[in-house]
A and B are shown apart, each in its own frame.
Chain A
Amino acid sequence: MSPDVSGGGRALALMDQVLGKRPAKDDPALAACARELCVYRDALILRQRAAPTDSEARLRLSHVNAVLAVVLAVQFPLDALPWDELTKARIWLSELWGQETSTAA
């Protein structure tokens, strides 16, 4: 059975919600987004472990980790909230999710 990657789609929707209202720090949508990204990441980890030489799976895992890092940067900022970076991370996640859905199709 292939891993359930649906967390990626939910994370994308939550990220849109976050970008729409630009909350200060610890908004519940941010925490939910991080949680769903972790679910998605867990699925990618399972996929990568099942096929260690699959470079595409490895690349997607790297990218979702990068997206997660930016979400955490907004949730637990060191200084000013990095909205521009989150917008870029949203593009990455959107591309990742597009690949997932096209692969599934």
Chain B
Amino acid sequence: MALWDLQHSDCVVVMGSNMAENHPIGFRFVVEAQRRGAKLIHIDPRFTRTSALADIHAPIRSGSDIAFLGGLIHYVIENDLWFRDYALNYTNLAHIITGDYVDSEDNEGVFSGFDPVTKTYDHESWQYEGKAVPPLTDPTLQHPNCVYQILKRHYARYTPERVEQVTGCSKETFLKVAQTIAEASGRERTTAICYAVGWTHHSYGVQIIRAAALFQALMGNMGRPGGGIMALRGHVSIQGSTDIPTLYNMLPGYLDQPDLFAGHATIDDYLSIKTPPTGWWSNLPKYVVSLLKAWYGEAATPDNEWGFQFLPKLTSDASQEPMTLSMALGVVKGQFILGQNPLVGAVNSELVEKGLAKLEWLVVRDFAMTETGDFWRNGRRVQKGEAKPEEIGTEVFFLPASMPGEKEGSVTNTSRLVQWHDWVCDAPGDSRSDLWFMYHLGLRLKALYADSDLSRDRAIQTLTWSYASKGEHDEPEAEEVLKEINGWTVSDRKQIATFADLKADGSTASGCWIYTGIFPEAGKNLARSRVPDAPDGPGSHAGWAFAWPANRRTLYNRASADPEGKPWSDRKKMIWWDEDQSKWTGLDVPDFAADKRPDYRPDWSKAPRGMDAISGAEPFMMEATGRAMIFTPSGIKDGPLPTYYEPVETPTRNAFHAQQANPTVHIWDVPGNALHPPEDPRFPYVFTTYRLTEMHCGGVPTRVMPHTAELQPEAFVEISPELAQALGIKNLDWTVLSTLRSEIEVKALVTERMRPFQINGKTVHQVGMPWVFGWKGYTSGAVANALLAITGDANTSIHTTKALTCNVRAGRLAINQRQVSS
């Protein structure tokens, strides 16, 4: 959904985010929704500025989100408050799952297919009955193994009482939340859920988001005005950096990086495994071949698999956590750090520091010196006397980087909205743009490998890398890159207007299929467009920049109409079928086959493929069945339904089942990374981290600016008055926070924003600390992430930063253990 569509919500639930402080631009649409009568609910451990503006603040213990969301699912099923006409037609609720499936509720928290040795799941027992295409269904929802019945049994124990027991949120507050959402969902009303890294940074982060998606699909809140799930991406262009990914396991446009051990040795193998026979993703070969043509040009031919062998193949998890551990082993020789400050932002910063010290070289590009670039001189281990600068062999190169106004390019925001920004003035001195750096690095690498006769160097030799440049520094033209991302026909280099025109025969090239249309013709960069709708316009603001895909603002918006193609209600209309014109039309670009009639049904006797297998009443066309997945037979590594697990570190036992934590979580038991066992009396407090409005990114951009630095003069830990009294800590006293990873000292902010919880019959205290401080800049403070352990969610390998445990005591560290600013 578009950020501005939040103003059309009847209820906005903010959970896993302090939206008012960390996404203030988007939050104004929430305020506008409130002005129009919407309710705002903030579900969060702390009482923040978001809570202050909310109609309901529901405090929950960090990490207990699935218990709360599971409680919502239970509530709407038990009280029959889900949107039956929507969910029955648009989700897989009626699909029948194989009889081999065993739910985690019947197996102490573990689903069928689990291998306790490898801690992975085989998905075979999660499939549809007989793997039938189309899946067998029971529209009466009575079949014991239909998704509805499984769902009902799975969440039967997520009662309001159990929600209170596990989350610490009172039953009364929980019920108020549930009733408010239910009243603001249905034909006439919609609810939106907004989240940020408060959901993702857990050992079950994907499952928290799944729980929300499942709930919204049940409630009919997907693909409709004011409905949906708003993933509040972080600052700068985090959305853009997953679209055109900096992630190790994806190619542009959410194509999977080939995996050698998954049978992707050749392009035929890869496409045969990755291309589903039904749904929109059956177009995958067109996007893959067009990408290879964009990258390798004339060197990509049918005879060499379109250059598929130039692509590196995955063999292992190469995400940040394994990379950090590999650095300490000596596997990694060098590292580029652009737009990151892992000494502050990555977990277990002392292990990160050890890894950096094992590198041969490190390149840091930023506009001011960061803790990462300074690790060898003033790092925590150096300050504590555990390492000496003269003994660290890493050669560190600090390269000054341009600021946004000193370069041109695009930023993709949380609504998939790509907005162009122009160059304003030159950067001082030797500062250069990241584009300049990458372009010239590429040129030098190509020159270096030009004479190589090794096949592995062909990827560099054949890479298309000819962009026009300008000025005394040969700054590449950013629009040239955008044109390539959009794509062109190979024969005449004519820009392509829509990804529907991409081909798998090598006649088209596109650097990222979902961006096709952003530069549809020569001289027309739609990311530059700045034409808002008039007050009486459709409200999609299609003339303002470009939202991928196809300049569509709301994904799956076919769901805004009923199966017959009529809006569910006039108040919530967006897309509808126009019988006279025989096409879908409305207030947004339809997210559906434009001329597919609502009454179209596949002729299964002819084994239809691709979009022919999706009926005119199945809006979720990126799924092979065209339906929202309440139950996921495959694709998720840690279970077909979200189930409750305690965080990897917790002061309590799992009240739902014997399986304490997510059994598939990545845990690396290496020296310096030990975890606290459950209920460890040495570390009795829940610890969480967060950002501050006044501190940007990893803190350096604002800590080096006097006028922003003074707004947050030093680091602090937020402690409830109850815990402060118990520990003898007064406001602004020094405290020491400790874990098995590290100890830090920081001043106490004693505040009622933090409250103790009653969990499983015991009082549980939680403390919280901003993670944006370090030792550089005008304002400094302890690095919170030094306390954290390296762990990984099974699906994404993302670390846990929101729910661990620690100890707190009054006082200070020994003088030689204190962090000194520099």
Chain A interface residues toward B at CB < 8 A: 24-26, 31, 34-35, 38-39, 42, 68-70, 72-73, 75-82, 85
Contact = CB atoms under 8 A, between A and B. Distances in A.
Contact of A68 (B325, B331, B666): B331
A35 B329 contact: yes
Q: Which 4 A-B pairs have CB atoms at the shortest separation, nearest pair first? A: A38-B330, A76-B322, A73-B316, A76-B317
A75 B792 CA distance: 14
Contacts of A24: 117-119
Interface string B314-346: 111110001001100111000000000000000
A81 B316 CA distance: 10
A34 B326 CA distance: 9
B648 to A, nearest CB: 14
Contacts of A76: 316-318, 322, 325-326
Contact of A34 (B117, B329, B669): B329
Nearest to B119: A24
Contact of A85 (B249, B261, B329, B331): B261
B329 A80 contact: no
B261 A42 contact: no
A77 B259 CA distance: 11
B262 interface: yes
11 contacts: A24-B118, A25-B666, A34-B326, A35-B329, A72-B315, A73-B261, A76-B318, A76-B326, A77-B316, A78-B249, A81-B118
A25 B792 CA distance: 13
A33 B401 CA distance: 39
Contact of A25 (B119, B329, B330): B119
B317 to A, nearest CB: 4
A39 B358 CA distance: 12
A63 B750 CA distance: 59
Nearest to B321: A76
B322 A78 contact: no
Given A26-B669, A72-B315, A76-B316, A82 B261 contact: yes
Nearest to A82: B261
Contacts of B361: none
Q: Which of B120, B249, B261 has the most A CB atoms < 10 Å from its CB? A: B261
B326 A26 contact: no
Given A26-B668, A72-B316, A78-B316, A31 B329 contact: yes
A39 B668 contact: no
B329 A78 contact: no
B531 interface: no
A50 B326 CA distance: 26
B315 A69 contact: yes
A68 B117 CA distance: 23
A73 B315 contact: yes
B670 interface: yes
Interface residues of B, number: 24
B262 A78 contact: yes
Contacts of B669: 26
Nearest to A68: B331
Interface of B: 117-120, 249, 259, 261-262, 314-318, 322, 325-326, 329-331, 666-670
B330 A42 contact: yes
Contacts of B261: 73, 78-80, 82, 85
Contacts of A75: 316, 322
A81 B317 CA distance: 12
Nearest to A62: B456
Contacts of B325: 31, 76
B330 A78 contact: no
Contacts of A25: 118-119, 666, 668
Contacts of B667: 26
A34 B330 CA distance: 8
Q: From DSSP, what is the main secondary structure of chain B's interface residues?
A: loop
Nearest to A38: B330
B326 A72 contact: yes
Given A24-B118, A76-B322, 10 more contacts: A26-B668, A38-B329, A39-B330, A72-B322, A75-B316, A76-B325, A78-B261, A78-B317, A79-B120, A85-B261
B258 to A, nearest CB: 12
Contacts of B249: 78
A1 to B, nearest CB: 19
Contacts of A80: 118, 120, 261
Contacts of B330: 35, 38-39, 42
A42 B333 CA distance: 10
Q: Which of B317, B326, B329 has the most A CB atoms < 10 Å from its CB? A: B329
Contact of B262 (A42, A68, A70, A79): A79
B319 to A, nearest CB: 8
Given A24-B117, A31-B670, A78 B331 contact: no
B161 to A, nearest CB: 37
A78 B670 contact: no
A69 B259 CA distance: 13
A24 B315 CA distance: 17
A64 to B, nearest CB: 12
Contacts of A79: 120, 259, 261-262
A45 to B, nearest CB: 9
Contacts of A82: 261, 315
Contacts of A85: 261
B449 to A, nearest CB: 14
Nearest to B358: A38
A68 to B, nearest CB: 7
Nearest to A24: B117
B318 A38 contact: no
A78 B326 contact: no
B332 to A, nearest CB: 9
Contacts of B326: 34, 72, 76
A13 B290 CA distance: 46
Contacts of A78: 249, 259, 261-262, 314-317
A34 B325 CA distance: 11
Contacts of B119: 24-25
A40 to B, nearest CB: 11
A82 B119 CA distance: 14
B753 to A, nearest CB: 38
A34 B730 CA distance: 49
Contacts of A73: 261, 315-316
Contacts of B670: 26, 31
Contacts of A26: 667-670
Contacts of B314: 78
Nearest to B667: A26
A72 B331 contact: yes
A82 B262 CA distance: 10
Given A25-B119, A31-B670, A70 B315 contact: yes
Nearest to B249: A78
A42 B359 CA distance: 12
A77 B331 CA distance: 16
A72 B329 CA distance: 11
Contacts of B315: 69-70, 72-73, 78, 82
B331 A34 contact: yes
Nearest to A27: B669
Contacts of A38: 329-331
Contacts of A68: 331
Contacts of B329: 31, 34-35, 38
B330 to A, nearest CB: 4
Contacts of A42: 330
